[in-house]
Amino acid sequence: MAGKKEWDNVCTQVNTCALTGAAAFFAGIPDAAIVANGPLWCYFYALRYVEKSCAGVAKRFFGTQPDNNAVVYGTEECLLETLVSIRQSTRPSVLLIENSCSVSLIGDDIAGIAAQAAMPYPVVCMDSGGLTGGFWEGYRAAAKAYFAVMPLEKRSIVQPCTVNLLGCSVSYYNAANDLRELKRLLELAGYKVLACPGAGSSTAEIAAMTQAELNLVIHAELGLMLAQDLQQQYGIPYLSLPPPYGLAGSLDWLNAIGQALPPGSNGLQAVQQEADKLHQRLRTTTREMQRLWGEPWFERSLVAAPSSVAFALAQALRSEWIATGSLTVVLHDGAAAYPTPACIDSVLDGQNDSQAIADQLANLAPGLLLASSQEKALLQQQAVTEVVCQNISLPVHDEIILHDRPFMGFLGSCHMTERLWNQYMNSCQWGR
């Protein structure tokens, strides 16, 4: 029987549909509009998912609602109807038409229908249902399709000390705050960020991204392939590093960038000064608490998130934030583009190791869980208590974030230390 693991129990997995992933990339372009050429159910699911981190996207995200007849005779009628309505009500710079899985099987000439509708802006057409994969596959395919239709400016001017950030998504947990911190750190170090395709940059900003000296891949599972394509097509070099978590982790990240692209003036010195100041503050505050509460210690820790987040955050957790016995990492997307850090004891494939994940969760107490509401629900279903939980990835159903504090970077390190310490002290007082 070929690849038994492919029939793993999805109840322990975290993923969604390629339709959602593709929509997430275009949702991150503020002047783009999206049409899901598929059932209302699939459209609403994708909309609700993306909307949680991209408020207001409903005004530029539409669905065509094909019915049984459309599956036989094609979606031309309902798609045209939707396109006419969009043409009358909005004026985006680019439009994505993405087919759901069943619609993709019909073989409609989507580009032809779009041409018939005479949309006065570029239209990107793609199949993006579950047949093509999950969130990450959809995001990557949408990025590729976008750059195929929306050519960049020729790389005739290159501005010194400029970078683009690739592989960021508004649909990662706390992504907007993380992105702000990354830009702040890079600017402090003497770099200027030109564009973040799929994470806030307009079509005009993306078109000018060829002026950057370097493409920085933040989440490899989303942006590495794009970086390779852009290097091949436009000659923009790239650097793919695990994202910066922790003070030391963030310094390492900036130093690695500095080696590839030396910053001007005293950038790295300014960064080091800020890191030293924050380190001093962290030590003073946590030592004071340690006198009363002892050192936070977790017999077992489990970190579950998209691979880039999971690896980099687990490293910061063990080397900077708290002390733990065994440390297991679950990669929501299944596999990582980076080598496994030495500090991690075991790595589980979030798409294929359902039984091992269930076992790890069942035996986690007394421990620490840095994951999503999905893993926390599995703990609750198994009545596992004595676990300190902290959300670091989607889906999240049991926490709201209204502040602007990141998880990444220097400020993120302070924030995570604060959260972990407060959770630890709470658990001492009220039980876990």
Binding site for another protein (CB under 8 A): 1-2, 4, 6-11, 13-19, 39-42, 44-45, 47, 49, 58, 63, 65-68, 71, 100-102, 105-106, 129-134, 373-374, 377, 380-383, 395, 397-398
Question: Nearest distance from residue 352's CB to another protein, in Å?
Answer: 11
CB of 90 or CB of 233, closer to another protein = 90
Q: Supply the minimum distance, in Å, between the C-beta of residue 399 and another protein.
A: 11
| Cα–Cα distance measured from residue 304 to residue 16, given in angstroms and rounded to the nearest whole number | 16
- Joined tokens for residue 341: 């850090």
Least distance between another protein and beta carbon 301 (Å): 22
Minimum gap (Å) between residue 272 Cβ and another protein: 43
Residue type at 83?
L
Rounded CA separation 209/206 (Å): 5
Question: Measured from the CB atom, is 9 or 340 closer to another protein?
Answer: 9
- For 326, the token pair is 């065994």
SS3 217: strand
Of 17 and 95, CB closest to another protein: 17
How far apart are CB 383 and another protein at their closest, in Å? Answer: 4
Between 131 and 425, CB nearer to another protein: 131
SS3 assignment, position 212: coil
Question: Smallest gap, in angstroms, from Cβ of residue 233 to another protein?
Answer: 26
| Per-residue tokens: 111 | 């580009």
The two tokens of residue 200 are 């806030």
From CA 85, how far away is CA 136, in angstroms rounded? 30
Q: Note the Cα 420 to chain centre separation in Å.
A: 22
Cβ distance 334 to 349 under 8 Å? yes
Residue 201 CA to residue 198 CA, distance in Å, equals 7
**Which CB, 38 or 406, lies closer to another protein?**
38
Give the nearer residue to another protein in terms of CB position, either 42 or 195.
Answer: 42
How many other CB atoms are found less than 10 A from the CB of residue 412?
27
